[in-house]
């Protein structure tokens, strides 16, 4: 994944606006899977060893986030597991749209867990083919680029489907459910 992102960053050059301080993708809740949750936990554990103070700040931001959204959480607000019913998914579509990711350092506009960020974060910005067959791209990027130039910078995040294979193995061993970043970092999610 990191190699694919480095490659597209070189091909895209200045069209790719993603830089420290660009935080549009850090606002709003999104569902994460068991593999994303495991990565985040590993990142937080590493941060606790390398910079305990910063790790505690991440956890405090996450706890405050969970406290703010718990009443309207479209799932089990104790476990952090999202409900997968249609009505809950509809509620989730507009849920916590203004909440800032607890991994975002508000002073520097950088992710405290960047190397361990969820897949959604990893593919936001560069042109990525979506399920409908089109190419999605951050609206801050590729201004002035033609469709052909954008397509030439398309990122194939996981060409060997390693994410999918690892996720399937984790689910086979019993890890299931979706949650959000804040529940994982607050240590309150029993999902995954």
For every residue of 128-157, DSSP letters joined together read: EE-TTSSEE--TTS-TT--HHHHHHT---S
- Tracing tokens 């200045």 back to the chain, one arrives at 14
The domain spans of the chain are 2-186
Give me the pLDDT at residue 132, please: 76
For residue 111, what pLDDT is reported? 96
Q: What is the pLDDT of residues 1-32, one digit of tens each?
A: 778 888 888 888 888 888 888 898 899 999 99
From CA 82, how far away is CA 92, in angstroms rounded? Answer: 9
Contact 158, 1 (CB under 8 A): yes
DSSP 83: P
pTM score above 0.75 = yes
Which of 33-47, 64-78, 103-117, 138-152 is the least confident region? Answer: 138-152
Q: Is 48 helix (H, G, I), strand (E, B) or coil?
A: helix
Residues 161 and 169: their CA atoms lie apart, in Å, by 13
Alpha carbons 162 and 153: distance in angstroms, whole number:
22
User: In this predicted structure, what is the pLDDT of residue 130?
Assistant: 76
CB 111 within 8 A of CB 104: yes
Q: What is the pLDDT of residues 122-137, one digit of tens each?
A: 888 888 887 777 788 8
Taking Cα atoms as reference points, which of 103, 100, 105 lies closest to residue 21? Answer: 105
User: Is the pLDDT assigned to residue 112 strictly greater than 90?
Assistant: yes
DSSP code of 135?
E
CB contact at 8 A, 12 and 141: yes
Closest C-alpha among 68, 65, 67, 43 to residue 55: 43
pLDDT in tens, 79-109: 999 999 999 999 999 899 999 999 999 999 9
């Amino acid at each position: 994944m990191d190699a694919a992102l480095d490659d597209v960053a070189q091909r895209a050059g200045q069209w790719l606006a993603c830089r420290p301080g660009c935080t549009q993708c850090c606002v709003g809740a999104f569902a994460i899977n068991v593999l994303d949750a495991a990565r985040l936990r590993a990142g937080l554990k590493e941060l606790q060893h390398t910079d305990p103070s910063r790790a505690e700040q991440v956890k405090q931001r996450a706890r405050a986030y969970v406290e703010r959204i718990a009443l309207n959480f479209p799932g089990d607000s104790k476990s952090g597991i999202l409900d997968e019913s249609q009505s809950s998914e509809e509620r989730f579509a507009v849920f916590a749209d203004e909440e800032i990711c607890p991994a975002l350092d508000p002073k520097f506009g950088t992710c405290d867990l960047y190397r361990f960020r969820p897949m959604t974060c990893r593919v936001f910005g560069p042109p990525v083919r979506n399920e409908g067959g089109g190419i999605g791209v951050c609206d801050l990027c590729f201004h002035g680029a033609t469709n052909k130039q954008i397509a030439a910078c398309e990122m194939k995040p996981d060409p060997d489907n390693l994410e999918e294979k690892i996720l399937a193995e984790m689910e086979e061993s019993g890890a299931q459910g979706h949650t959000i970043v804040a529940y994982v970092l607050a240590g309150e999610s029993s999902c995954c």
